[in-house]
Chain A
Amino acid sequence: MNAEKLSTADRQVTFENVSKFYGDVLGVNRVNLSIPPGITGLVGPNGSGKTTLMNLMVGLIRPSRGRVSVFGLGPDDPEGLFRLVGYAAQYDSFPPGLTGYQFVESYLRVHGFSARESEALAWKAIERVNLVEAAGRKVAGYSKGMRQRIRLAQALSHEPSVLVLDEPLNGLDPMARAEAIALFRELADGGLHVIVSSHILHEVDLISDQVVLIHGGYIVAEGDIGDVRDEMEEDHPVQVLVRCDRPSLLASRVFEADHVVEARILEDGQGLLVRTRDADSFHLALNRIVLENGLAVDAVAPADSDVNAVYQYLIGSNGEKQ
């Protein structure tokens, strides 16, 4: 199958009513998902089913019920599926005694690439993760960050269309994180599906085009984080921070609107924190109030529209502390 020739609608990773049980243990249940190109952040506490979802995606396990397909291919076509998918598991696992280059090259050979092709692709991938100088050294002597990068290289070395990365930012220093995130962005902008699981919510927020929140084996939310947040407005009013010169006047005016449930002046007296059930209407009303009263506004920013807030509202704990 030529993935390049598929339409955008066909280039999806889909889960149709998928359940996976390990004997009596629930992995994931009744998952319906459609993951488009771009970076997708998979977020959930430990044991929530993230790795099960990833293993299902890459064909390592089969669903107990339902159907998983990557660009229309399932695990019954391993040759096709594994060409499309690149996977870096969360485990820090390397065959003993191999150098970074040998690690990447040997798995390319397992993939079915010729010796010459494997060599070229291995160097290309190693170059992408900036490990050329260390490629001749044994992986056992690598730092944790280097090990993460070489695992990333082996996952993308066969040039997959879907890259599934389990906790790929663990152990990376800030510089390496920035480089990895830039690489994910570059790959995603090139049309690749990059599916990343992480506990570090602000990073997921920073890099993801869409998120999938999973808890207890169930998908609790999915899609663009802004859209997810909008859908939660009724139960969890949106918080908007407005920095302005006369916050008390602004507070009295915004309370005229029904959708505003709370307005709190900041401790420094230089702004207002508003909770509203209709963010769009609030922003329109704010424009009007500012113009009518000649308020000097320094900044208007959402205060709880990031993944961290959504995660806390839906799952009830701070992911970073998991």
Chain B
Amino acid sequence: MKKLITLLLFLVLALPAVAFAEKPVLMMSTTTSTDNTGLLDVLKPAFEAETGIELRWTAVGTGKALAMGQNCDVDVLLVHAPGAEKKFVADGYGVDRTQLMYNDFVIIGPAADPAKVKGMSVSDALKKIGQSGNIFCSRGDNSGTHKKELSLWKESGMAVPEKEAWYVQTGQGMLPTINVANEKNAYTMTDRGTFIKYEASHNGNPPIVILVEGDGALFNQYSAMAVNPKNCPNAKYDLAKKYIDWMASDATQKLIGDFKLMGKQLFTPNAGK
């Protein structure tokens, strides 16, 4: 009994010693799409090798990522909701917003396409889905993708179908939402990167396919920002700045462009453009 207690106490006391890291640590909040696709896992070792800074991130919806920046819990953000980001900077919470890369959103649905929206513009497709009464799955979680979807409903001239029976808000991440759409034979909107990942998990032959793509309204811009050192004096602004500059550098931009899943490029670098 005593031995066991001594052992446990030892474990407890030893833990903080293990937890101390020697390298400087940069804390980032980011969106699920950069993490789920595996892009960050590819970039992290390169960043650490070049700068000696350890990058740690927590992958959450853009809404929560911004809230963490506002509360000074992270040093840098990598998100994709330009409207909310500009407001974040204007409100004095963020600085050095730098655009880094983009991919695009696509509207996906059952291969049989019950509402017949294939090849339409986004506005027409959304209206048609609304009229057909076929189920449409929304993230409903205040993420960058959700914000984008809400703006598309408005642009198509429809009110956001918040209370319609065919409008299902999952409140979950992108892949779970695609899975819900699959189960319910429904439409949804996703970023292309996550969809390619979904395709890969179905060996390239998914039950849900891309129906609307290439519309300019579906552009999805990712940017990095440092939290404002005036708002958060303890934030590691210098490390954050280094990270942003590194992400925008030519070598890293090439790494991003070369990142492929199933032979498909997921993100297109566009820093400084």
- B and A form one assembly: no
Interface residue ranges, B against A (CB under 8 Å): none
Interface residue ranges, A against B (CB under 8 Å): none
